[in-house]
Structure 1
Amino acid sequence: MSADDAEARLRLDSYLPYRLSVASNAVSGLIARAYQDRFGLTIPQWRVICVLARDGRLTQGQIVGRTFMDKVTVSRAVQGLAARRLVDRSEHHADGRSHMLALAPEGRRLFSEIAPLALAYETALISGLAPEEVTLLRRLLTRLQSAAAALVGEGERPPIG
């Protein structure tokens, strides 16, 4: 495909990466306002709380791997949560360069208060979809995420063909 052909065919409103970004920003913005207004949490802080609630004690590096957030974002989220005494830090006996993180009792209480709200938002967002559409959407999003990860592994080159 020539550059002229690509230019003629590319329309932002139908370009899938753009549409995914817009949808993600709309959903994240909605949820961010609710978490910030009601609980004083950022989205990264909420993700850290959620992962620690599910998985227990983790290092920051493990949280990065589970959330796909960058190291700086996770570090700032953890610092804010620790300052509010929502997360406890303890020594990592196997690796002196890192700490183990766990939800403090107040973090667990906050999670138990926010989790029903998060699930209610999800229910409201998918209420116009049939159950099989939700299943398909989850499967397609997983496949797109895997394809993006594969492209990053290839140096972000688009496939040739």
Structure 2
Amino acid sequence: MPGHALLELETFLPYRLSVLSNTLSQAIAKVYEKRFDLSVTEWRAMAVLGYCANLSAREVAERTAMDKVAVSRAVARLLAKGHIERGTARHDKRQSVLRLSEEGWKIYDQVAPLALEHEQRLLAHLNEEERQWLARILDTLWQAELVESKR
């Protein structure tokens, strides 16, 4: 259209990355949603807590780049289901921290290998050099975005 900037979504990097990310997430989500009644947000919170325990809900939101409200709701559901537990931080007894419960670990130990298998099937479409380039490109874009977001 004359006089308007044309945003071609098919070639617009943020759009393409978002669509790819959503597509990849939904592929594995079908498994854990059906088997464990977990939403994508709930699984991402569990995955972060499986990697790094004793985080606040705010830290979970930061590590996943998810909306704080969505994480707060997911945390509430995970607490209600008994998949995570709330404790207090060692350095500040006023701060609450989260960790996987025994039940949460049972689920994590089933879903994490499925997610890793899915990743390996996807990466099998790339040769070793392409995998290394992909990692470098993603790291470079991540760092660039961190710099841009501080401006």
Same fold per superposition (TM over 0.5): yes
Residue deviations 1:52-87, cap 9 Å, x none? 112122211222222222211211111111111010
Alpha-carbon distance change, 71 to 5 in structure 1, aligned in 2, over 3 angstroms: closer
**1:40 & 1:6 partners in 2: Cα distance?**
43
Gaps spanning 5+ residues in structure 2: where?
Answer: none
- 2:123 aligned to which of 122, 126, 133: 126
For 1:146 and 1:33, the matched residues in 2 are separated by 31
Which of 106, 109, 112 is the equivalent residue of 2:103? 106
Q: State the Cα distance separating 1:146 from its structure 2 match.
A: 2.0
Deviation at 1:13, TM superposition (A): 1.5
Aligned-residue sequence identity (percent) comes to 38
Provide closer, same or farther for how the CA distance between residues 73 and 5 of structure 1 changes in structure 2, counting only shifts above 3 A: closer
Question: Number of paired residues?
Answer: 149
Aligned twin of 1:117: 114
- Post-superposition shift, 1:88? 0.7
Q: For residues 139 and 70 of structure 2, what CA distance do their matches in structure 1 show?
A: 23
Task: Provide, for residues 121-161 of structure 1, a one-character-per-residue CA deviation record: whole Å limited to 9, x for no partner.
Answer: 1011112111221121122112112222222222xxxxxxx
Q: Which residue of 2 aligns with 1:148?
A: 145
For residue 84 of structure 2, the aligned residue among 82, 87, 98 is 87
Q: What residue number does 1:157 align with?
A: none
Does residue 56 of structure 2 align to residue 59 of structure 1?
yes
Please give the root-mean-square deviation of Cα atoms over the aligned residues, in Å. Answer: 2.0
Give the drift of 1:15.
1.9
**Unpaired segments ≥5 residues, structure 1:** 155-161
Distance 1:132 1:83 in 2: 45
Q: CA deviation at 1:99?
A: 1.1
Aligned counterparts of 2:25 and 2:54: Cα–Cα separation in 1: 26
Amino acid across the alignment from 2:23 = A
Which of 73, 76, 98 is residue 73 of structure 2 equivalent to? 76
Report the alpha carbon displacement of residue 5 of structure 1 after superposing the two structures with TM: 9.3
Which residue matches 1:159? none
Paired residue type of 2:106: R
**Kindly tell me: are residues 92 and 19 of structure 1, through their superposed partners in 2, closer, same or farther at Cα, counting changes over 3 Å?**
same
Q: Does residue 36 of structure 2 align to residue 36 of structure 1? A: no
d(CA) in 1 for partners of 2:3, 2:141? 27
Q: Which residue is equivalent to 1:26? A: 23
Higher RCO (C-alpha under 8 Å, 6+ residues apart):
2
TM-score (norm 2): 0.87
Q: Which amino acid aligns with 2:150?
A: G
Query: Under a length normalisation based on structure 1, what TM-score does the superposition of the two structures give?
Result: 0.82
